[in-house]
Structure 1
Amino acid sequence: MSLSFSAPLPVASRTVTVPVEFFTGLQQAVRHPQDAQASGAAASVDTIRDAGYAAGQALFDHFAAWLEQQGEVSPADLADERFPWLLEAFFHAQGWGRAELVPMSDAVMALDVSDWSEAGDLQGGCLVTTGLFAGFFGRLAAAPISVLEVEAPEVAPGRSRFLLGSVDVLEYVWEAMERGIPYERAAASA
């Protein structure tokens, strides 16, 4: 399976197709830095998330173009009831997999992904996707969005769960989780 953005896009925008093994390579560079340093390719978790963030910001432009091709309004003008369906259709059409938004509270949304390109047999979570969602949803909200992966692929290969919210709200959820409070309860009270 490869990721592909085949829809015609504005001239200033360009995409490439990469095999899903790309994510494994990135993970190995982070998890086994001695091997990566030998080849001069050492990377940090933050570097990979930052790359995902930049990609997410660009992917938002692809989403806006895709909506236009579907005869839809701009992302900012989408009706709330249509947005989750169109979001899932977009990510699926682009080869990422399925993405379903699930409200947790007024301040926190969960994003459940399945058959997700990055969530194969990786250990340590979906680093690119975490950054990707922060960049994508930050552009959508026109404000910083924090993303926290709370169920990683090692629990169920191909699946993962992310929480989306403001930086302050997800900091609260994270601190609650560190105190042993389940994320569902922390998110519901945020």
Structure 2
Amino acid sequence: MSTSISAQLPVAARTVTVPLEFFTGLQQAVHQLREGGDLSSLDAIRDAGYAAGQALFDHFAEWLAQQGEEAPADVADGRFPWLLEAFLHAQGWGRAELVPVSEAVMALDVSDWSEASGLHAGQGCLVTTGLFAGFFGRLAAAPICVLEVDPPDMAPGRSRFLLGSVDVLEYVWEAMERGIPYEHAAASA
């Protein structure tokens, strides 16, 4: 009776580096899908980002340990935003800043962001939306909804993502559809 060696060894987390042009090609594909009305494929892109976000959380935990820090859930609230930004920047994603919007909603402002680089208006960061949902869902040990919003004063190459529970961000989305600014909707959620 033979035993497979690979079945006995733990699978190491792997990361693949892709050039920024990957996102340009992905954005062109998204544009074509939208033009053709194939919105189910857009969900598939978000879902791929979600799976990557869950794996990215594992990489973050490993990175924290290498830095001599505690596990993600145990990092002090004051240090977490700084460590998250340092990690994402070191991974080549860009800069990220957590900003409270209300008691129930956080914003994650990103700049020099890989997926937002050269982004055409209205295309959005589908991979990043899924990535953050997977990452922060693992951190919270609960489903986290992520909504990309477009503040009027946001500079090119920057994006803002709202993070909150599914119910809260569904409320915010519905309010936005009625013309209510997300800040007001988040404050009343």
Larger radius of gyration: 2
- Native 8 Å contact 1:29 1:35 kept in 2: no
- Native 8 Å contact 1:29 1:43 kept in 2: no
Determine the C-alpha separation between the residues in 2 that align with 1:146 and 1:17: 26
TM-score (norm 2): 0.87
2:156 is equivalent to residue 157 of structure 1? yes
Stretches of 4+ moved more than 6 A in 1? Answer: none
1:174 corresponds to which residue? 173
| Deviation of 1:108 (Å) | 0.2
Closer, same or farther: CA 34–135 of 1 in aligned 2, 3 Å: closer
- 5+ residue gaps, structure 2: 1-9
Aligned residues: 176
| Deviation of 1:35 (Å) | 10
2:22 corresponds to which residue? 22
Determine the C-alpha separation between the residues in 1 that align with 2:95 and 2:35: 33
Aligned residue for 1:147, secondary structure, equals: strand
Closer, same or farther: CA 187–43 of 1 in aligned 2, 3 Å: closer
2:83 is equivalent to residue 58 of structure 1? no
- Native 8 Å contact 1:33 1:43 kept in 2: no
Alignment RMSD = 2.3
| Deviation of 1:137 (Å) | 0.2
2:128 corresponds to which residue? 129
Aligned residue for 1:18, secondary structure, equals: coil
2:109 corresponds to which residue? 112
2:64 is equivalent to residue 96 of structure 1? no
Determine the C-alpha separation between the residues in 2 that align with 1:98 and 1:43: 30
- What amino acid sits opposite 1:47 in the alignment? A
2:75 corresponds to which of 75, 78, 96:
78
| Deviation of 1:33 (Å) | 3.8
Determine the C-alpha separation between the residues in 1 that align with 2:35 and 2:171: 36
- Native 8 Å contact 1:108 1:165 kept in 2: yes
- Native 8 Å contact 2:53 2:132 kept in 1: yes
Determine the C-alpha separation between the residues in 2 that align with 1:18 and 1:151: 26
- Native 8 Å contact 2:49 2:131 kept in 1: yes
Aligned residue for 1:25, secondary structure, equals: helix
- What amino acid sits opposite 1:18 in the alignment? V
Deviations 1:50-81 (A, max 9, x none): 11000000000000000000000000111111
- Native 8 Å contact 1:87 1:99 kept in 2: yes
| Percent identity over paired residues | 83
Determine the C-alpha separation between the residues in 2 that align with 1:146 and 1:47: 16
| Deviation of 1:43 (Å) | 7.7
